[in-house]
A and B are shown apart, each in its own frame.
Chain A
Amino acid sequence: MDERLLFDRLHQALDVEPSPGAYDRLRVSLIKSPARPHGGLSFTFRWPKVGLRLAAVVTLVVLGIALVAGFVATHRVAEDITTVNSDHAITAYKLRLSDAYARISTEASNWNCNSGTQFAACEADANRLLPANYQWLNDLNAIQPPARFAIAHAQLRLHVTAQLARTYVWIAASRAHDAAAVDREVAVIRGQTGATWVQTMVANVVASKQRSAATYISSVRSEKLGLDGCASCQNLAGQSQVSCTGGQAPTCQDLVTLTATQVLSFQAALIATAAPNSMTTKDNRLQLDLGAAAAALVAMDDALTSGDQAAFNVGRTSFQQAMPAINRDAADILKS
């Protein structure tokens, strides 16, 4: 690619200067404030207590049921996509989804739990977000998506259900005064299979535009290359043993996070650069299989949070089944 072209385009896209007086404001702040000493909170890693383990197991069971139900529901959606796909229906859906998301985002913006040691603040945040998440799920259930977003919508419900289950673990950890467990749960709630996934998908639905076959195929090709080049994805999809116990847990977390980032990127691209009508059947297949991979990553992420190797293996098996299907679907689109 012509480097100059990218340079010019980037300057055009990000042509913003600091507001007048911005540096002076910073200067005044620096002069007024004395330099503070070094310091910061540090958290030690502890495995969950017995009560917390129980809560985590119950959550995993609930989550497992939710994931299966969501997966079935998603496939049912795919078999029965009959909703209108008009510009009006698409705009109406974007507005309703955006409004519903704004409600949960307003609730979540009053965030006080900045570290797991703030037990009262963390429990209060979790208790406040729980009904907000239920409302968000109810809103999603009440919204009828147009065909273009039917699969993404079903997956959105799946992820919000997972967030609800995680919020219960968060509350249990706060009540047990287990700072490390609170930190782990908050991290997963905010992470690539949690809020980041939800936020990215909502943003891409809002920005979605139907494109030509050439543009759509180009987008799929780019994402497929990203997936092929993602060592973590290939590692998780491969047959080598992955142990996540003890000191291996952070490595497993990296594998899941990096893979989830790549899968989310692919999912988001399919929504942002929506397939032309002539390619929706193939696109739906790819979206479904990416959704299965994303659901498997949710299960693996939760298994890591609760230190459950067996549950991690179950999630990984689902991911191993989804990846070849994704490769087939993408290849089918690329040869179109």
Chain B
Amino acid sequence: MREQVILRVITKLLTPFILMFGLYVIMHGEISPGGGFQGGVILAAAFILYSLVFGVHASRAVLSRRVTDALAGGGALIYAGVGTVTMALGGEFLDYNMLIPADAPAGQALGITLVEIGVGITVAAVMITIFNELSEHG
């Protein structure tokens, strides 16, 4: 891919915007279509595009294997952690009302945002892992 100037330049230009859009979809899932799953996939798409054009090694230099492994588990841990926190605060598992007892709907909104972030992190990390492992195969 060394001599594909157009691909390399366009990829470098597009990657930050794709990442930004992925984050937007995750964070804006409460208001517009989208959420953790879709945003996570878009985040992963940015890294996969980068891997395709510059090689998996360049992508690994940004996000190493150790980091994606940790993020894959970390996202699910955030989700389950929110549930555990609500239990510790005296509610049921994933009862977001407990996050802000004085204003239950705000607690719901906060809880939904947090778990969507968790979903997004896990989905993005797993998709990046799958692609990298497949493309390094053999």
A, B in one complex:
no
Residues of A that sit less than 8 Å from B by CB: none
Residues of B that sit less than 8 Å from A by CB: none
